[in-house]
Structure formats: structure tokens, C-alpha cells
Amino acid sequence: MKKILALMLTLVLTLSLTACGDSKEDKDASSASSEESDIAYVKDKGSLVIGITDFEPMDYKDESGEWIGFDADMAKAFAESLGVEAEFVEIDWDNKIMELDGKTIDCVWNGMTLTDEVTSSMSCSNAYCNNAQIVIVPKDKADQYQDTDSLSDLTFAVEAGSAGEEQVKALDLNYTAVKAQADALMEVAAGTSDAAVIDSLMAAAMVGEGTSYADLTYTVGLNNEEYGVGFRKGSDLTKALNEFFSSSYKSGSMTTCAETYGVQAAVIEQ
């Protein structure tokens, strides 16, 4: 009987040690996975997948359907520096963090404001452009809306998950969330919303005389902010991009690119 008990105890101990060994191996594998280099991951698959929205002058399509813009061109150059192709994917801006963490995309590079939510959820590059959120209204009504107090009775269209949405929430204004800033402009032009809040860089390119929205204008500036590029937490791509920004700024190629799209005054020294 004692021999049987001893044999059973030995068997239990062996199984326990085996299980512990498996657990350690699983933990080591998990740890190795969490520490995987994003640069190696991107190079292995041969592409840098960039999450964007239609946002002139940062990311938009030319007549041939190719993505261009200040951000798009800089992203292509960065991808080339890594030896990979740039692949652009339109995302729901409100889901950008989920898309990034799920590896549907490798970065968010689309005139993204460095908000508290963004910086706490992503590994962010150095700021590269200044920006602001501004109010867009029909030109013939602009004189009625020159300060924040005058905005209370308006209905706004804003991009879901954007810095513009944060501003209208903070001011407790009535608004409808739409997919993209371009959609917010369309709402105002169609008269389905009284006003919109969009990025000042977009407004300069798309609103006013000589643009697609000549009957709209911008009035109240709601804040000052900066743009950055977001990667997954702990990503080594962040450091690589900061180094790329620095060298591009010093060589003058960043400024040349910015001049192509009329945003040179907003570029931040690297």
C-alpha cells in the first residue's frame, strides 16, 4: 500500500512539474511576442499599413486615385527609408486605437491631434505640425458667429472621435457625429447642419474663395494643438520616425513637401 501511495505521489509531482514547465514556456513565448520589433514585423511583410481618412491637404486622392498630401507623401518617404511599401487604408476615425492594436494598421498618420486619449493609448512621434479647431459656417452668416457665446443655438457636424468632437462636447453644443471631416463640410454646404468644427489646415485648403466650398468660411478658433503620428505602445517605429523627421527637416525635404501642399507655415522644427 505504501509503495502504491509513493508511486502516486511521484506521478502527481511529475505532472505538476511538467505543467509548471509548460506555463513558464508559455509565459516566455508571450513575453517574446509582446517585445517583437515592429520594424522587423513591417519589414517581414514588406509594407507599412497607414490608417487615414480623406483629409485634404494631409491625405486625399488625386485624379488617378492615388493617395497624396503632406502626410501621405511623408509616409511614403518613411516607408521607403525602411525598405517597404506604403499601404493606405481608410479607417473609421473613432476606431483608430482598436485598428492599431488589432494590427489592421501599423500606424495612424492623418493630421492626428495629440490629445490625452491619443498619447495614453499610442506610442506617439514628436509633434510635426501646428493646428487648431475652427468653426465653419456659411459665409453670409459669418458676422453672427464671432465668439463662442454666439454658437449655442447652432447644430454642428463633427468627425466622430476627433479633436473637433472634443471641443463641441466641452462647450456643450448640439452636434451630429459623421465619418470624416469632409462629411462635416458637406453637411454645412447642404444645410443639414448649421456649422462644423474642423482642423484649420483642412479649412485653409478646402474652404473659401477658389475652393470647392466657396460659400463657406471659418470664424471662431477654439484651441491650439499639434499633430503627431501614432504607433502601437512600445513600438520601435516611433524612434525610427522621429529620426526620419529630424533628418528630413534638416535636409529641407520636409519643408519642400509642405510647400507643395501649402502647409509650410504649420511645420514644427525637428
pLDDT in tens, the chain (270 residues): 433 434 333 433 343 433 334 433 343 333 334 458 999 999 999 999 999 999 999 999 999 999 999 999 999 999 999 999 999 999 999 999 999 999 999 999 999 999 999 999 999 999 999 999 999 999 999 999 999 999 999 999 999 999 999 999 999 999 999 999 999 999 999 999 999 999 999 999 999 999 989 999 999 999 999 999 999 999 999 999 999 999 999 999 999 999 999 999 999 999
Closest among 168, 146, 145, 171 to 157, alpha carbons compared: 168
Domains of the chain are 38-130+226-266 (3.40.190.10), 133-223 (3.40.190.10)
Residue 26, CB half-sphere, CA atoms under 13 Å: how many?
A: 6
Which three cell numbers mark 190?
Answer: 447642404
Q: What is the pLDDT at residue 26? A: 40
3 state SS of 6: helix
Q: What is the pLDDT at residue 36? A: 81
CB under 8 Å to 163, separation ≥6 — which residues?
113, 115, 133, 199, 223, 225
Q: What is the pLDDT at residue 19? A: 39
Closest among 175, 174, 147 to 160, alpha carbons compared: 175
